[in-house]
Amino acid sequence: MTNTHGQVGPAVDVPVDADVLRAGINGPGHLSRRLFQAHGRLWQDKLDDKLTGPQFTVLGVLCLEGPMDQRTLGEHARLDKSTTTPLLERLQQRELLDITKGETDKRRKILTITEKGRSMVAETAPLAVEVGESMLAPLSEAEREQLLRLLRKVC
């Protein structure tokens, strides 16, 4: 059976309505996925051979805040434990951070950025800024500020 658009479709004609559009291609889920994909492409072009986005965030937090335990880092970087643990292991293997046991609680992992890690942050931060600038290029300064404010609010 053909639908109202002359395409083969379900046996029952269902009109496209505002809810379908709001939930589909114009919905927040679809648009945020497209935004994430666009950011991923730009990041890959500029930084993929150096750091992933989450790796940059982790090193940046440690660079700005200093040594901290894994739970605190996860809170600062907004990463869950299942994401953070393998990410930290990869950064440790690359000698970008050190992982030591807590003095009083040996189960606690203390994370410290290394000098090599600080150098990597210094090298990649301008590239990360370029990615953000490219993402926001179609917007005016006021629109950029508004978008970032709204994204922080939603997140």
Class of the 53-125 domain? Answer: mainly alpha
For 66, residues 6+ apart whose C-beta sits below 8 A from its C-beta are 112
pLDDT attached to residue 114 = 97
- What is the spatial distance between Cα 125 and Cα 7, in angstroms, rounded to a whole number? 49
Q: According to the model, what pLDDT value does residue 120 have? A: 97
Could you give the CA distance from residue 132 to residue 111 in angstroms, rounded to a whole number?
A: 27
What is the pLDDT at residue 155? 86
Which amino acid belongs to residue 108? R
Give me the pLDDT at residue 72, please: 93
**DSSP one-letter string for 31-53:** HHHHHHHHHHHHHHHHHTTT--H
pLDDT in tens, the chain (155 residues): 445 555 555 555 666 677 777 777 778 888 899 999 999 999 999 997 899 999 999 999 999 999 999 999 999 999 988 888 999 999 999 999 999 987 887 778 999 999 999 999 999 999 999 999 999 999 999 999 999 999 999 98
CA-based end-to-end distance of the chain: 43
CB contact at 8 A, 88 and 80: no
Structure tokens at 130: 């370029």
Question: Taking the CB of residue 4, how many other CB atoms lie within 10 A of it?
Answer: 10
3-class DSSP assignment, residue 149: helix
**H helices of 5-140, where?**
18-23, 28-47, 53-65, 70-77, 81-93, 115-136
Q: Which residues pair with 2 in a beta bridge?
A: 8
Instruction: Please report, for the chain, the start and end positions of each structural domain, with discontinuous segments joined by +.
Output: 53-125
**What's the pLDDT at 48?**
79
Q: Cα(70)–Cα(105) distance, rounded to whole angstroms?
A: 13
Rounded CA separation 97/67 (Å): 10
